[in-house]
Amino acid sequence: MNTQWEAVIGLEIHTQLATKSKIFSGASTTYGAEPNTQACIISLGMPGVLPVLNEDAVRKAVTFGMAINAEIAPYSVFARKNYFYPDLPKGYQISQFELPIVGKGFLDIDVDGETKRIGVTRAHLEEDAGKSLHENFHGLSGIDLNRAGTPLLEIVSEPDMRTAKEAVAYMRKLHELVRYLEICDGNMQEGSFRCDANVSVRPKGQAEFGTRAEIKNINSFKFVEKAINHEIERQIELIENGGTVVQETRLYDSVKDETRSMRSKEEANDYRYFPDPDLLPVFISDELKSEIKAHLPELPEEKKLRFKTDYHLNDESATILTSSRDVANYFEEVVKLSHCESTICANWITGELSAALNRADLDISDSPIDATRFAGLVARIADDTISGKIGKQVFEFLWNTADSADDIIEKQGLKQITDTGAIEAIIDTILVANEKQAQQYRDGNEKMFGFFVGQVMKAMQGKGNPAEINKILKIKLS
């Protein structure tokens, strides 16, 4: 970015709450149902129907608010946000405006080794709209109203971010948090977690904000970064060429890597908000807040600090292992069952297991190797039954079969050879066959030692105990 300019970025994250039913009705929120089979008469706003607030959605909103140290409103109100779009069946959306359920809070992010606090302006409950479908309709649009009425928590940040990198770090931190709290599954492909980015630019040192554009419905971390960077460059180029940024809503095209204008940006008065006459105000008691606070899980930052202290992990390992509750639980279960040093468990989970999961595009909760079988592998490496190299072979068998590590080692004959007599005999044979290289080592060419280690390991098919091989080789070559 041109160093004369500074970007100002705020994000609005739409988080689908993990309730079994919709926010104002008992209709199912299950993903993937046939179009319009979960569009109940309440979500459609049929005459005479009355919405009833889902208590679980309220609890989840309060849970989130407490996790970001936010103000929880003792009194909040639902409002009607009026606009007309084909996938909004009632012609209005029930949302919150002046009195949201969650007030000011914050999240701390780490970018390039520095911690920055990002303010959260508010988080309010609202219902989702339906979905417009344009594929396979030959110039027409289809409307699927299954999503209509699905509970959302819209989390609005302060305009505290200055780079796309900071915006992605904040979005990732929020994504991690809502999954930790188990208030949202965070599935971006299914639309459970999506982002609108508000972007403006201003000359460096200027206090006044520039005119912002809002980029709608971005559903991946990669696209958020690309969309923001493109929009920053677009606005700078526009201003430097004598143009003016217009306040508008834009769409990010990931194929062309560009943002395009959708419509002029509406202000609050365009939506003609007014309190919903069918819904009572929401009162949050101190007793409810105390109950929810008592059941808050250990949060990511607390868990990361504990892992570093209790398990003696470095910052990188602790960060990876606390990236989700499932990963953290898996690690602690492996440590408990293997009775091994936590560092070896951490290294194998963040290394071999993480790589395999990434290749297969699987979460750890779907891993073919459960914590019990993985602990068996780590235990056999730790007690020198197998070497780390052989451990990788055992891992492949664990991944592709239901056998335990012990069964695989036995069946495949992979047990490490620790018999010093057997190792000595093989070393003697190799030294006789390589007298020239042995003399080179004795003459000071220390690189030859690695040559002999390799020859011995090859002769023993990788099953020799490395420590014993090194020890005996040093004696024999002295």
What count of residues does the chain have? 478
Tell me: the pLDDT tens digits for 110-132?
Answer: 998 899 999 999 999 999 999 88
Is pLDDT at 1 greater than 60 in this prediction? Answer: no
- The residue out of 380, 412, 444 marking a domain boundary is 412
pLDDT at 448: 78
pLDDT at 54: 97
pLDDT at 439: 76
CA 44 to chain centre: 33
Tell me: the pLDDT tens digits for 62-97?
Answer: 999 999 999 999 999 999 999 888 889 999 999 999
Across 121-125, 135-139, 183-187, 212-216, the highest mean pLDDT is recorded for 121-125
Q: Quick one: average pLDDT of 386-411?
A: 92
Q: Long-range contacts for 437-445 (Cβ within 8 Å, ≥24 apart)?
A: 438/477, 441/477, 442/477
Which residue segment(s) compose the domain that 334 sits in? 298-412
Q: Is the separation of the CB atoms in 300 and 106 below 8 Å?
A: no
pLDDT at 451: 82
Note whether 392 and 424 are same-domain residues.
Answer: no
- The residue out of 290, 321, 346 marking a domain boundary is 290
Does residue 286 come out as left (phi exceeding 0), alpha (psi in the -120 to 50 range) or beta? alpha
Note whether 470 and 372 are same-domain residues.
Answer: no
Note whether 217 and 120 are same-domain residues.
Answer: yes
Q: Quick one: average pLDDT of 337-364?
A: 94
Note whether 263 and 376 are same-domain residues.
Answer: no
Our CA dihedral for 216, 221, 222, 226, rounded to 10 degrees, sits at 40
Tell me: the pLDDT tens digits for 362-376?
Answer: 999 999 999 999 999
Tokens 């098919």 sit on residue: 461
Q: Is the separation of the CB atoms in 74 and 117 below 8 Å?
A: no
Within a 13 Å sphere around the CA of 199, how many CA atoms are in the beta-carbon half?
29
Q: What is the mean pLDDT of the chain?
A: 90
CATH code of the domain in which 456 resides: 1.10.10.410
Tell me: the pLDDT tens digits for 8-56?
Answer: 999 999 999 999 999 999 999 999 899 999 999 999 999 999 999 999 9
Note whether 175 and 61 are same-domain residues.
Answer: yes
Note whether 345 and 452 are same-domain residues.
Answer: no
- The residue out of 385, 412, 439 marking a domain boundary is 412
Does residue 384 come out as left (phi exceeding 0), alpha (psi in the -120 to 50 range) or beta? left
DSSP tag of 436: H
Tell me: the pLDDT tens digits for 226-267?
Answer: 999 999 999 999 999 999 999 999 989 888 888 888 877 666
pLDDT at 97: 94
Tell me: the pLDDT tens digits for 261-291?
Answer: 887 766 667 789 999 999 999 999 999 999 9
- Alpha-carbon dihedral sign for residues 140, 146, 149, 155: negative
Note whether 151 and 237 are same-domain residues.
Answer: yes
Is pLDDT at 338 greater than 90 in this prediction? Answer: yes
pLDDT at 469: 75
pLDDT at 419: 58
DSSP structure string for 310-349: HS---HHHHHHHTSSHHHHHHHHHHHHHHT--HHHHHHHI
pLDDT at 257: 84
Q: Quick one: average pLDDT of 400-419?
A: 84
Note whether 408 and 440 are same-domain residues.
Answer: no
Is pLDDT at 137 greater than 80 in this prediction? Answer: no
Note whether 247 and 338 are same-domain residues.
Answer: no
pLDDT at 476: 72
Number of domains forming the structure of the chain: 3
Is pLDDT at 347 greater than 90 in this prediction? Answer: yes
Q: Quick one: average pLDDT of 171-188?
A: 94
Note whether 377 and 436 are same-domain residues.
Answer: no
Count of other CB atoms within 10 angstroms of residue 220: 17
Note whether 254 and 373 are same-domain residues.
Answer: no
pLDDT at 455: 81
pLDDT at 245: 92
Cross-strand partners of 258: 253
pLDDT at 2: 63
Note whether 183 and 224 are same-domain residues.
Answer: yes
